[in-house]
């Protein structure tokens, strides 16, 4: 339900772009799974958490950053850890309020809106649950325009903004606060804390004013995910056509999962998968490598997509996206890739999250150019 922004009396404190009730939650979950690129955790759990919160506290208003007061504090939130663990060690609901209170005390001003630190899987849904609990709007933005495995891989890092204080908490009530010399050090310190907390924790990063967020965040991502989710639902018969039209997605292969290797280390779900083509792709092999998120796709040994572009696997039965930790031998899937946010294609963006940042000795080529060559 999109309500156009209106001036005049009688309107809500913020003109909502989207009011997330139960129907749009499903659309958001569907969209977040696509943007997750295999990471961010299965959105089902996030969907259930958000639905319960909305049933209890009412729908969540998604607002444009322009609607928020310039100096209002926007808090990007996320879960951190191995998605394989997040699904079994569920937050108990107290985490968001605890984190918010710490920032408000520390920074001496109220939080005016929550935001998603990343938009993928559960990470896109959790902020909805927290916003419902807190009675706060959700800003229509995120800090990646997709999901990445490490917490410093956010657009504000490209602008040199401080990531901290980073506040991390677990379902027991332990709290760790980090102020680091740079964003990469925050990742190095938060990751083992998350592992000690049981390989999964809740956090907030890059607390910032709305005026700052307007300049550095990926804007419009929540409403975009809802729109995509709605259209995927409406045109369920041909998800690839929807993704091509909405995201410029290219089809990499259709096939069966022939091999999956996966291990949970250092708080990450790492691994690789091989997909054996069928139909018009018969005889072709796609190899995928992932660290929570899909990082690299090789078709018959040639790179056909790489980070920071988004590589997403669709289940051919459910038409929904499949997260890395759900990938199974014999599953029939389509693999697509689509362009990342332009911020990641700059020199600074590629230095932070391009192929070499993951140890792949190859130059990044935008997926649409690779496709023009190979397609």
Provide Rg for the chain, Cα atoms.
19
Contact of 182 with 162, CB cutoff 8 Å = no
Q: Looking at beta carbons only, is 176 or 258 nearer to a second copy?
A: 176
Q: Looking at beta carbons only, is 176 or 240 nearer to a second copy?
A: 176
Check binding of 94 to a second copy (CB under 8 A): no
Q: Looking at beta carbons only, is 192 or 342 nearer to a second copy?
A: 192
Check binding of 44 to a second copy (CB under 8 A): no
Contact of 78 with 116, CB cutoff 8 Å = yes
DSSP code for 80: E
Q: Looking at beta carbons only, is 152 or 191 nearer to a second copy?
A: 191
Binding mask 115-154 for a second copy (x = CB under 8 A): ----------------------------------------
DSSP letters of 267-308? TEEEEEEEEEE-GGGTT-EEEEEEESEEEEEEETTEEEEETT
Q: Looking at beta carbons only, is 15 or 189 nearer to a second copy?
A: 189
Q: How many residues of this chain bind a second copy (CB under 8 A)?
A: 19
Which tokens go with 342?
């332009």
Cβ 171 to a second copy shortest distance, Å:
10
Task: Assign 257 to helix, strand or coil.
Answer: strand
**Cα–Cα distance, 59 to 366 (Å, whole number):** 38
Cβ 292 to a second copy shortest distance, Å:
19
Q: Looking at beta carbons only, is 66 or 182 nearer to a second copy?
A: 182
Q: Is residue 319 left, alpha or beta, with left meaning phi > 0 and alpha meaning psi from -120 to 50?
A: left
**Cα–Cα distance, 263 to 130 (Å, whole number):** 30
Cβ 263 to a second copy shortest distance, Å:
19
In the list 133, 191, 224, 371, the residue contacting a second copy (rule: CB under 8 A) is 191
Among residues 82, 35, 79, 80, the alpha carbon closest in space to that of 262 is found at 82
Check binding of 177 to a second copy (CB under 8 A): yes
Check binding of 179 to a second copy (CB under 8 A): yes
Burial class for 364, CB neighbours closer than 10 Å (0-12, 13-18, 19+) = buried
Cβ 191 to a second copy shortest distance, Å:
7
Check binding of 174 to a second copy (CB under 8 A): yes
Torsion of CA 305, 309, 315, 319, to 10 degrees: -130
Cβ 317 to a second copy shortest distance, Å:
41
Check binding of 184 to a second copy (CB under 8 A): no
Cβ 173 to a second copy shortest distance, Å:
5
In the list 69, 97, 135, 173, the residue contacting a second copy (rule: CB under 8 A) is 173
DSSP letters of 312-324? EEEETTT-SEE-G
Cβ 181 to a second copy shortest distance, Å:
5
From 191-199, 228-236, 321-329, 361-369, span contacting a second copy (CB under 8 A): 191-199
Q: Looking at beta carbons only, is 87 or 171 nearer to a second copy?
A: 171
Q: How many residues does the chain have?
A: 375
Cβ 190 to a second copy shortest distance, Å:
9
Check binding of 197 to a second copy (CB under 8 A): yes
Check binding of 215 to a second copy (CB under 8 A): no
**Cα–Cα distance, 338 to 11 (Å, whole number):** 38
The stretches of 37-121 forming alpha helices (DSSP H) are 43-57, 83-86, 95-107
Check binding of 114 to a second copy (CB under 8 A): no
In the list 11, 56, 159, 172, the residue contacting a second copy (rule: CB under 8 A) is 172
Name the strand (E) or helix (H) holding 156: helix 155-158
From 10-18, 143-151, 178-186, 353-361, span contacting a second copy (CB under 8 A): 178-186
Q: How many CA atoms lie within 13 A of 13 on its CB side?
A: 10
Contacts with a second copy by CB under 8 A lie at 172-181, 185, 188-189, 191-193, 195-197
């Amino acid at each position: 339900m999109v309500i156009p922004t209106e001036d005049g009396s009688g309107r809500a404190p913020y003109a909502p772009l989207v009011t997330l009730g139960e129907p749009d939650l499903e659309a958001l979950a569907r969209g977040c799974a696509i943007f997750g690129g295999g990471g961010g955790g299965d959105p089902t759990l996030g969907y259930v958490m958000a639905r319960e919160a909305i049933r209890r506290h009412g729908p969540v208003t998604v607002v444009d950053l322009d609607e928020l007061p310039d100096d209002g504090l926007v808090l990007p939130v996320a879960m951190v850890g191995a998605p394989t663990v997040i699904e079994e060690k569920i937050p108990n609901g107290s985490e968001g309020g605890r984190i918010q209170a710490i920032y408000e005390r520390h920074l001496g001003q109220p939080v005016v809106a929550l935001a998603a630190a990343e938009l993928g899987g559960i990470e896109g849904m959790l902020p909805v649950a927290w916003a419902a609990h807190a009675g706060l709007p959700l800003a229509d933005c995120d800090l990646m325009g997709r999901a990445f495995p490490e917490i410093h891989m956010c657009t504000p890092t490209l602008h040199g903004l401080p990531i901290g204080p980073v506040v991390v908490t677990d379902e027991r009530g332990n709290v760790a606060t980090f102020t680091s010399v740079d964003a990469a050090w925050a990742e190095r310190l938060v990751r083992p804390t998350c592992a000690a907390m049981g390989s999964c924790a809740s956090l907030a990063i890059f607390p910032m004013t709305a005026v700052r967020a307007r300049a550095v965040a990926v804007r419009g991502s929540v409403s975009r995910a809802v729109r995509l989710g709605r259209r995927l639902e409406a045109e369920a018969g041909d998800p690839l056509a929807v993704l091509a039209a909405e995201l410029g997605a290219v089809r990499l292969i259709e096939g069966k999962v022939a091999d999956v290797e996966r291990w949970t280390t250092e708080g990450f779900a790492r691994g690789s998968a091989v997909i054996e083509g069928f139909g018009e792709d018969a005889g072709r092999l796609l190899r995928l490598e992932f660290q929570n998120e899909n990082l690299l796709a090789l078709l018959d040994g040639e790179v056909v997509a790489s980070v920071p572009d988004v590589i997403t696997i669709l289940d051919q039965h459910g038409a929904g996206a499949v997260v890395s930790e759900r990938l199974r031998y014999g599953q029939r899937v389509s693999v697509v890739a689509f362009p990342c946010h332009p911020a990641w294609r700059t020199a600074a963006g590629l230095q932070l999250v391009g192929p070499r940042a993951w140890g792949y000795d190859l130059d990044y080529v935008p997926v649409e150019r690779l496709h023009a060559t190979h397609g």
